Amino acid sequence: MRFKKTIACIAIAASPLVYGQDGEDWKGEAEFGVLITSGNTEETNVNGRLGLVHEVVDWRNIAEFSSNYSEAEDQTTAEKYKGSVETNYKFDERQYWFLRGGYENDRFSGYDFESTVTTGYGNRVWQRGERSFLDLSAGVGYRYNKLDVVNSDGEDAEKEAIARLAVQFDYALSDNALFHQKLSTEIGLDENNVISQSETAIKANIVGNLSMKAAYRVKHVSDAPAGTDSTDTETAITLLYGF
């Protein structure tokens, strides 16, 4: 049931991306590999991810979906599905307006699901070639996180306005290697719960469209649900196919 709900939400969220599906305007990457987690789940399991980018003169659309799952002795020990979609309207070569939706379903996080919608302003403050750039963005939006159990205030969900700050830095180390850093923080304006995420990765081309990727991810929840850890980490070694 959780999986079906997740797929339905991702399909709805991704629907704005279907227009303008000229194959030449789309780029994507699919990856599959080993994931080592710590925090609310401490497992070694497999994970998969799909990333898509559609870019034309005035618009840039970005979608990313990932999952990881493992079992031991007929019991689920890790289960997470995550998706995000973002559309950018480009005012010029560097400035853009963004609208973003995110959804996460982590069975062991203390949340039934987490969801946000944000909008704001972004600026590509630096770029060198097609593969090296620095994006900064800031905006506001709304968070609805459904809790697994009622909290001490008698609430079964976190519902509040948020401010979002994000940074993405990609740097081409060579023709065949890329360093990637992504940071984001979403600050609750009512309950003051701050959820921050970081991904640090290096990708190296093996042959043709096939690459290897090593990534380290951290998620920190300042006011985590009762009985759960505030910080989760993931270390991933994956094969990545670009198309």
Query: One-letter amino acid identity for 26?
Result: W
Mean pLDDT of 64-89: 88
Residue 202 has pLDDT above 50, yes or no: yes
125-151 confidence digits (pLDDT tens): 999 998 999 999 999 999 999 999 887
Q: How far from chain centre, in Å, is Cα 118?
A: 14
The pTM of this model reads 0.86
Mean pLDDT of 211-226: 95
List 216's β-bridge partners, or say none. 200, 235
Mean pLDDT score across all residues of the chain: 89
Residue 179: how many CB atoms within 10 A of its CB?
Answer: 14
What does the alpha-carbon distance between residue 124 and residue 72 come to, in Å, rounded to a whole number? 45
32-65 confidence digits (pLDDT tens): 999 889 988 888 888 899 999 999 999 999 999 9
Beta strands in 44-110 (DSSP E): 44-55, 59-72, 75-90, 95-106
- Residue 111 makes CB contacts below 8 A (sequence gap 6+) with 104, 145, 146, 147, 148, 225
What does the alpha-carbon distance between residue 129 and residue 64 come to, in Å, rounded to a whole number? 23
150-179 confidence digits (pLDDT tens): 876 778 899 999 999 999 999 999 999 999
Q: Which residue has the higher pLDDT, 14 or 31?
A: 31
Q: Note the CATH number of domain 2-242.
A: 2.40.160.40
Listed by start position, the domains of the chain span 2-242
